[in-house]
Structure 1
């Protein structure tokens, strides 16, 4: 069988996107591993499979596979690529797209400038000591600090004490933000010991929400990390955080499987 696919990129992740609506395909873990190999296969950070809807009330079902062949529960990182793909391949013409995933429903909207806005989730924010806040988003907990000088003992003393006191089920990640202007901030992501981490979309959204809560910054906000810039939209507590990002179609191809 000749499998048609598209390589796409967003937030410096590359995706192999497969149209399972107009072509029938089954991916075994072994096949995914072979395709994921960057030397002998196609190579990708994740494989995105677009399928007909399982539920008549949504437009598509969307599955995400990691390079080890395992299906991922979260498909947030590839959501914008998914939307760009179905629009460019004329699988849908609507401006609002609903899609089911392994972890629930996603809602996406085409803005007036043709950017894709993804409705993510409602962040749960709790104020804490030392000008820190905790933000729970999509099952992950972050400790956030904005415009705060970070002394050498910040992680050993402040973060360690804070995590011990709150007894989190899992050690939270730490977002340190710096507000640049009313619509822009930068941030870095750390583990609870101070080691730098690769930031995903949840961390960008968390940083944007933290900056808006801090004051002096307004939605929409350009949130910048060393990886990329995302635009975050948030109207405050009891509202969904949304994001848009630049995604690129790298090439279309086909491979025998």
Structure 2
């Protein structure tokens, strides 16, 4: 099977995007892992599959696969690349497209200058919706790992996030604490772990250990989750600039019951084909 693909990146979070509208694409877990291998395949943080919509009011279906082959419901940086892909590939000439995802519908808007704003939907806070094993909803939860206690906020942006406040994001224990929390029993579907440093109420620095991938240069849904958690805990006010290792995003959230808006770049790196 020969597949055409486009390599894209959003703040260094890199993707392989495949057109499943004009070609039939069925990938096994092993094939996704092969494509994601940076030595034997193409290499990516996530693979994005563009498919025909499931809903009558949608333009496309948006599917996301991690490098370990697992399918997930949400990826904010990928959504921006998705919007640019369908325009550049001639699949849509709309400024705004609506896509079906495993976490509901997203609305993607192309801005002047190439940036994309994504309506990421309304964040979910109830433990059962995250999902998080906790008796009651709280602004902060406590978790113990290897004899140490940590406090975190939890929110779903269509995927589960835990957000810890740190004094210095650059020195945060992302690679040691991140995997321990990602797979902790409190998170039955695992979780993305954000390490947030607050510069001022409109500016944070953030690193994210993503489930199924590890630390990436940027995580769009993680940036949204961090801002939501920070606003909920009284530390932040919209709009918030989020500095990630790969660059910056602008996040807006008006509060409970309102959607989160994320604006940032999406860049095409190269096009190619691969035979599986």
Cα offset for 1:88?
1.3
Normalising to structure 2: TM-score of the pair? Answer: 0.69
Deviates further, 120-129 or 93-102 = 120-129
Unaligned runs of 5+ in 1: 150-167, 191-195
Partner Cα separation in structure 1 for residue 33 and residue 194 of structure 2: 32
Deviates further, 4-13 or 169-178 = 169-178
Cα offset for 1:144?
5.5
Cα offset for 1:81?
1.0
1:241 has 2:260 as partner: yes
1:53 has 2:56 as partner: no
How many pairs are equivalent? Answer: 235
Normalising to structure 1: TM-score of the pair? Answer: 0.73
Partner Cα separation in structure 1 for residue 233 and residue 119 of structure 2: 22
Q: Alpha-carbon deviations, 1:188-229, whole Å to 9, x = none?
A: 568xxxxx9666333311333355567786533211133431
Which residue number corresponds to residue 65 of structure 1?
65
- CA RMSD in angstroms comes to 3.6
Partner Cα separation in structure 2 for residue 240 and residue 211 of structure 1: 15
Q: Alpha-carbon deviations, 1:72-117, whole Å to 9, x = none?
A: 2334341111111011112112222111123322221223444211
Q: Alpha-carbon deviations, 1:219-247, whole Å to 9, x = none?
A: 33211133431111112333111112222
What SS does structure 2 have at the residue aligned with 1:121?
A: coil
Cα offset for 1:256?
2.6
Contact 2:66 2:72 in 1 (8 A): yes
Partner Cα separation in structure 2 for residue 46 and residue 174 of structure 1: 18
Which residue number corresponds to residue 146 of structure 2?
none
Match of 2:199 among 163, 179, 200: 179
